[in-house]
Amino acid sequence: MKTGVCYYPEHWPEERWAQDAAQMRELGLSVVRIGEFAWSRLETRDGTLHLDWLQRAIDTLHAAGLSVVLGTPTATPPRWMLDKHPDMLAVDADGRIRDFGSRRHYCFSHEAYLAECRRIVEILARRFGQHPAIIAWQTDNEYGCHSTSISYSGHALAAFQRWCEARYGTIDLLNDAWGNVFWSMEYDNFEQIGLPVGNVTESNPSHQLAFWRFSSNQIARFNRAQCDIIREHSPGRDVVHNFMGNFVEFDHHEVSRDLDVATWDNYPLGFLTRDNGDATDQERYLRTGHPDGSAFHHDLYRGCCNGRWWVMEQQPGPVNWAPYNPAPLAGMVRLWGWEAFAHGAELMSYFRWRQAPFAQEQTHTGLLLSNGDADVAATELADLNRELADLASFSVEELRREAPGDASLDEPSTAEPAQQAPNETIDRLLGALPVHSDIAIIFSYAGNAIQDIQLPGGSTYSPLGFCQRVHSACRQWGANVDIIAPTAPLDNYRLVLVCSSTEDDPDLVSRLKAAHQQQQSVIVLFPGTGSRSSEYRIPDSLPPGHFEQLLPVQIIRSESLPTNELLSATGSTGRNRRCSQWREEVKSPVEPRMHFDDQWGFHYEQQGVHYINAIPDNNSLLSLLGELLEEAGIAGRDLGPWLRTQRIGPYRVAFNFGARPVELDKELGSLLDFHHDTPLLIGSRTLEQAQVAVWVAE
Ligand code: GAL
């Protein structure tokens, strides 16, 4: 794994650039992302270009031996653009124009703005596309950030009407697909169709889903336009985009089809304080982030571009945008780096090089303070880079021969660190170590949207949150997990967990069937699977629609419950599971494994295909997953809430997110390739909070 940083040469005097570049090298950084917000300096007036400064910045970085990821500046159209295209701004749900003065002020459906983007991207790609320093291009910046996936502008409306015409062909077919007869919502022509906003009560869910799909398509189209131009003028370079955390407003699998690498922006403490509703988690992980928060997204984005993924922006210290912005515990910057390595990142890049003394993000830390002195993260990053170099210098074969029992391996730093020669340019960042997982979670963005539109588990239920809880439970059993698209191959998985495939998807059903029959994968369907057609209707055969081909169940009723209403299901062995939020009543010839007090069944299984018809609480989910792992023949051990491990290539890495030290000998026993005499390459057997241990797995 290489490390990198996000840098804004346009914010600093040119005389400083060479010193910055030299300092970056000293810290072991090899990649720098620049340019993504620089449009007003690249084109000061319409057609007045100033590209020479960017050339000099790239040359300076190159001369220091740094590689460059060049961002396209389309997330920040300059002020003159608005004089030219006053109607290019997005409109929010209340009809307000999302005006100039920050960023992302554009509507994805504005054709003339898209043409401007094509123009500037082509100018940049022609000028810099062959520069030896440039290894990749980032399109735009964080599509959808600040609620910008959706716009209710006149341009969006017109484009949506055309989109509906292309999808449905005739207005009668659209009326039929959406069930518009329901409240006399039928249209006579496509021009009458509005956007699903501002209605007296809930808009038709079919209409909402169609608009979600349209908005997602518009983002993919916008992105594709840039990718095509870049590929034409800058062949051989990776095209990437930086996605976000806890963000499902468009289909990332769809956008990723045009990318070489999925990258994402990881702010573990910001995500915890902004997005996690659990008071215990908030308190316990305030300065470490949730133990599975980063891991979930690493695993999700690894599944977007055939395994190739980076962290493009990594939190270095307090950020500026969450309700509270605590400083990470000492050690966490290093730990997050090891975590990205362990999940197979090719690059870990920090946001940002130097704290900005002006404008919106003044309280957002960087690797350097605003005066240019090193901040805490710089030191931890330098340690990480030294250790990664040490690790690369070990011969795993030798370690395997010597281990177990060779205590000398506890002192790895005597080995020569693998130094990178100055001025050596990296051609491409291909080649993280492979991550093998026996477990796949199928994540469907459309399925998630279907659940979000009419929350089946009540207002406290989050479909994404449930998926994260399932992932977390697998991680607590010490397992590697892949999170994959509904269209991804299922080869080699022993356990396939279908969490969010609410959309009745015959193609997925046939591939699940094949995986089950040909490689005996254990298949698990969670509540809501297949419960709506792609047009948002209940399948004619009742839920789970085509998934019924996998096991004979029919959902005849679905109820939502408050989180504190815990229902207990008991089985013949005396085992019990507690569920809340969402429960389904199942009709099936199969005898359920358990029953609730009111005799609704719970947990149906036939020959290795499971239907879980309620939402278990955390403890029940953990023991349910334990049972499923066992049935799938996957070794696991309950690591408790805050110890986590990940297997990567020949190594296993362990992380302690909890306040108490963990004795690895005690907690791991002889499981997870760890024995009392397993030598550690990094770390110690008493794993303190925010510390990492690495060993060679069997
Ligand atoms: C990201 C964004 C960056 C910066 C950062 C601050 O969402 O891509 O430009 O604003 O947040 O944490």
Distance 245 CA to ligand 1 centre (A): 11
CA distance 384 to 500: 36
% of the chain with per-residue pLDDT over 70: 94
Q: CB under 8 Å to 72, separation ≥6 — which residues?
A: 35, 36, 117, 120, 121, 124, 137, 138, 139, 140, 226, 230
Distance 378 CA to ligand 1 centre (A): 19
The whole-number pLDDT of residue 425 equals 41
Q: Cβ distance 345 to 387 under 8 Å?
A: no
Quote the DSSP letter at residue 354. B
Poorest-pLDDT segment among 163-167, 383-387, 628-632, 670-674: 670-674
Mode of pairing for the β-strands spanning 643-648 and 651-656: antiparallel
Q: Which of 74, 271, 313 to mutate to test the pocket of ligand 1 (most atoms within 8 A of CB)?
A: 313
CA distance 571 to 620: 13
Distance 244 CA to ligand 1 centre (A): 9
Distance 680 CA to ligand 1 centre (A): 36
Active site residues: 142, 313
* Tens-place pLDDT, residues 118-136: 999 999 999 999 999 999 9
405 has a pLDDT exceeding 90: no
Q: Which of 148, 265, 352 to mutate to test the pocket of ligand 1 (most atoms within 8 A of CB)?
A: 265
> What is the residue whose two structure tokens read 């912005």?
325
Sequence-ordered strand ranges (E) for 464-514: 481-484, 495-498
Residue 389 exposed, middle or buried by CB count within 10 Å (0-12, 13-18, 19+): middle
Q: Cβ distance 316 to 375 under 8 Å?
A: yes
CA distance 126 to 686: 55
CA distance 449 to 432: 32
The whole-number pLDDT of residue 420 equals 40
CA distance 583 to 97: 41
Nearest CA residue ID for atom 12, ligand 1: 319
The ligand 1 atom at the shortest distance from the C-alpha of residue 360 is 10
pLDDT tier at 3 (50, 70, 90 boundaries)?
A: very high
Distance 263 CA to ligand 1 centre (A): 13
The ligand 1 atom at the shortest distance from the C-alpha of residue 270 is 12
pLDDT tier at 520 (50, 70, 90 boundaries)?
A: very high
CA distance 664 to 349: 30
CA distance 453 to 94: 18
> What is the residue whose two structure tokens read 């702010």?
267
Q: Cβ distance 24 to 66 under 8 Å?
A: yes
Domains in the chain (CATH in brackets) are 2-149+216-419 (3.20.20.80), 439-631 (3.40.50.880), 643-696 (2.60.40.1180)
The whole-number pLDDT of residue 674 equals 86
Poorest-pLDDT segment among 202-206, 311-315, 572-576, 617-621: 572-576
The whole-number pLDDT of residue 574 equals 84
588 backbone dihedrals φ, ψ, rounded to 5°: -160, 145
The ligand 1 atom at the shortest distance from the C-alpha of residue 141 is 8
Quote the DSSP letter at residue 75. T
Q: CB under 8 Å to 534, separation ≥6 — which residues?
A: 446, 503, 504, 505
Q: Cβ distance 368 to 391 under 8 Å?
A: no
In the numeric block, which tokens belong to residue 333? Answer: 């910057």
pTM over 0.85? The answer is yes
Sign of the Cα pseudo-torsion (199, 200, 201, 204, in order): negative
- What number of other Cβ atoms are within 10 A of residue 661's Cβ? 13
**Ligand 1 pocket, Cβ-based, cut-off 6 angstroms:** 141-142, 145, 265, 267, 313, 319, 321, 351, 361, 364
Nearest CA residue ID for atom 5, ligand 1: 351
The ligand 1 atom at the shortest distance from the C-alpha of residue 142 is 8
Q: Cβ distance 249 to 144 under 8 Å?
A: yes
How far apart, in Å, are the Cα atoms of 358 and each of 16, 139, 251, 354? 17, 25, 35, 12
Nearest CA residue ID for atom 4, ligand 1: 351
654 has a pLDDT exceeding 80: yes
* Tens-place pLDDT, residues 176-231: 999 999 999 999 999 999 999 999 999 999 999 999 999 999 999 999 999 999 99
First to last CA, the chain: 22
CA distance 406 to 169: 71
Nearest CA residue ID for atom 10, ligand 1: 361
Residues 607-631, mean pLDDT to the nearest whole number: 97
**Position 432, amino acid:** A
Sequence-ordered strand ranges (E) for 167-284: 238-243, 261-266
The whole-number pLDDT of residue 410 equals 39
Higher pLDDT, 404 or 299: 299
573 backbone dihedrals φ, ψ, rounded to 5°: -80, 0
Q: Cβ distance 296 to 443 under 8 Å?
A: no
The ligand 1 atom at the shortest distance from the C-alpha of residue 145 is 7
- What number of other Cβ atoms are within 10 A of residue 472's Cβ? 22
CA distance 234 to 229: 8
**How many residues does the structure list for the chain?**
698
Distance 320 CA to ligand 1 centre (A): 9
Q: CB under 8 Å to 34, separation ≥6 — which residues?
A: 6, 7, 8, 9, 54, 57, 58, 61, 68, 69, 70, 71
Sign of the Cα pseudo-torsion (485, 489, 491, 492, in order): negative
* Tens-place pLDDT, residues 415-468: 343 344 333 343 556 567 899 999 999 999 999 999 999 988 888 899 999 999
Nearest CA residue ID for atom 1, ligand 1: 265
Distance 664 CA to ligand 1 centre (A): 37
Residues 295-315, mean pLDDT to the nearest whole number: 98
Distance 24 CA to ligand 1 centre (A): 20
Q: Which of 11, 350, 355, 361 to mutate to test the pocket of ligand 1 (most atoms within 8 A of CB)?
A: 361
Q: Which of 139, 142, 246 to mutate to test the pocket of ligand 1 (most atoms within 8 A of CB)?
A: 142
